[in-house]
Chains A and B, each alone.
Chain A
């Protein structure tokens, strides 16, 4: 720091006076979370910040500047584009395309039937197969999905929640059949059921048995798949559902703490499982708000993990996260603008120190991305990494009075929200009462009204609108009904070819284990190997655990 960190009173007074006379342009000066933005921040505003205690160094407690000593000087973030559509073979082709073009990690998007535990041929799957992700109904689909891709040489992130343990079992068995050992496998299962109840609503079972499944995966990973991140505690969806940045931060960390407590209750030691917890945040349009959010997240997590849960391992204390640029910030109008939005949102993720990054494609308000669109999105990351220079130094915005002040404010807001959740009895009681859901719904409605009143601006939508949107005529990806037909036929063939006896025995084992406190992962792997389908396994669990319906959410 320079020797003069406080401005003499007279300089500030002089500025204040001139400021009060200066005009302001006609705008709301709020972030997209409706938080007021200060026109100017000075050293006075961060006078209470102790640089060593609160900011410190990268790779050192409280990790505000980053979880690793060398950050992007040592290794760039992983460029990991979320992807999946149609049948397993369609997606396999897309994965190969992305790997050829420089992507270095895989990320699987599953279709709604898979996410909700239905096979492609179930009546409720009609019209939905392969439409917003890849259809996986059995081990066979998983094998086709990764055909020609050596799972021991790559890391894979799977966005799956309610049936995550089962899908993970299929992945593990696929890898074993390729000749890999479990301890060679790296990747992540999203497996964050709490945020399903709160925001995304792809739940199947009630909270208690769902938490049991999550802890089963954490335990299995700790013992047998040590490189695997069993949970990606997610704020992305909470934000997409309409929360503010502070809510995203607080709700996500609260969920994380809830998982820690559940694992501790199971008898696991904190440093056994916490090193492999990971997080997933949104990167939305307000550049600085997002950067502050990421830095505050690391600091809050580190402090609580060490001081409340007794974590001693640095890897338990460091919050590591994946970022996706905000889908809800994209527009259908003038879609080329989305390339620009995604660029600065990605930049915010990088300046916030993300470990891996997905950049949205320009056409995603209309459909799943075309090859061209996803290539541009990938190039966006590569341009930032190799041309912008920001990855050449670590946490360059540290010490900015504005950013540090904002980081402090984020942390304070999050702490207030934690207190409220505690008053309600904790995360699970609060979500059973519908508290999170109502808070998010209120924020979403408020934002929409502000948007329509012109308080929030979206270029191309309520400002600089073009009647005849010539560049709107993009070629979009079409998923046809052929996918569903193919998947249904595939399932029929599978059912004919497999051993029904093996399937029945495996399903019986699941039923038995579900009713006891045994870890369910081995039973799931056995069932996967027998080519029992996802739907068959989930049905057993539905019988054992029941199904969840939302509480009042208005």
Chain B
């Protein structure tokens, strides 16, 4: 039996609109994942620390404030510096498509904008984590 996927769900920065983050956390739990809910108003440093201590395979960030070009790369950078560069950084919010592409170039995984379904997110996480686990095993 495969180990449950551990995911950190958090909101970086000052925005408090957590409807999406909470819905995603509930959905990931219902999909059999262990969700560490990191909460609101987190700094990228605190998010990276939580990700390391909890040894998560996935960090999911919800960013609606327009500050995504600053916050996603910062978390990716901090995780790499802490030796946790293998962690999948995904998430969603109000992020234009061209920004998603740029963020992917800077190290995030796929990001999910308005209208994305929970199903898509769950499937993506399962597939991507599965892929990374297999790759790690054959190292």
Contacts and interface: CB of A to CB of B under 8 A. Distances in A.
A461 interface: yes
Contacts of A118: 14
Interface stretch (B36-44, B51-59, B124-132): B36-44
Nearest to A114: B14
B110 interface: no
A124 B26 contact: no
Nearest to A365: B114
B125 to A, nearest CB: 16
A200 interface: yes
A126 interface: yes
Contacts of B118: 448-449, 452
Contacts of B65: 112, 128, 131-132
A46 interface: no
Given A112-B65, A201-B16, A445-B27, A127 B70 contact: yes
B80 interface: no
B67 to A, nearest CB: 4
Interface in A72-127: 112-113, 115-116, 118, 124-127
A448 B66 contact: no
A420 to B, nearest CB: 21
B14 A128 contact: yes
B20 to A, nearest CB: 9
A203 to B, nearest CB: 8
Contacts of B67: 112, 127-128, 131
A476 interface: yes
Contacts of B22: 441, 444-445, 553-554
Output the residue of A127, A240, A553 with the most chain B CB within 10 A.
Answer: A127
A127 B70 CA distance: 6
Nearest to A122: B14
Contacts of B15: 112, 128, 132
Nearest to B13: A128
A115 B66 contact: no
B102 to A, nearest CB: 13
Given A332-B115, A333-B115, A367-B96, A200 B23 contact: no
A476 B97 CA distance: 11
A201 B19 contact: no
Interface in B110-139: 113-115, 117-119
Nearest to A332: B114
B47 interface: no
A207 to B, nearest CB: 15
Contacts, number: 97
A489 B43 CA distance: 24
Contact of A444 (B13, B23, B119): B23
Given A126-B70, A445-B22, A366 B17 contact: no
B70 A476 contact: no
Contacts of A554: 22, 25-26, 37
A239 to B, nearest CB: 10
Interface residues of A, number: 44
Contact of B43 (A124, A240, A367, A441): A124
A124 B14 contact: yes
Interface in B1-55: 13-19, 22-23, 25-27, 37, 39-41, 43
A268 interface: no
Given A132-B66, A201-B40, A452-B117, A127 B13 contact: yes
Interface in B65-109: 65-67, 69-71, 94, 96
A444 B118 CA distance: 13
A79 B91 CA distance: 36
Contacts of A476: 96
A124 B14 CA distance: 8
B19 A367 contact: no
Contacts of A124: 13-14, 43
Contact of B14 (A116, A333, A460): A116
A187 interface: no
A201 B17 contact: yes
Interface in A37-65: none
Given A367-B66, A550-B39, A241 B17 contact: yes
Interface string A126-158: 111001100000000000000000000000000
A78 B15 CA distance: 29
Interface string A304-316: 0000000000000
B66 A131 contact: yes
A461 B14 contact: no
Interface of B: 13-19, 22-23, 25-27, 37, 39-41, 43, 65-67, 69-71, 94, 96, 113-115, 117-119
26 contacts: A112-B14, A112-B67, A116-B14, A124-B14, A124-B43, A125-B14, A126-B70, A127-B67, A128-B13, A128-B15, A128-B66, A128-B67, A128-B70, A131-B65, A132-B65, A200-B16, A201-B16, A201-B18, A240-B19, A332-B115, A333-B115, A366-B94, A368-B66, A452-B118, A554-B26, A554-B37
Interface of A: 112-113, 115-116, 118, 124-128, 131-132, 196, 200-203, 240-242, 328, 330-333, 365-368, 440-441, 444-445, 448-449, 452, 458, 460-461, 476, 479, 550, 553-554
Given A127-B70, A128-B14, A441-B19, 7 more contacts: A200-B17, A241-B18, A331-B114, A366-B96, A367-B96, A440-B19, A441-B22
Top 4 A-B pairs ranked by shortest CB distance?
A201-B16, A127-B70, A131-B66, A112-B14
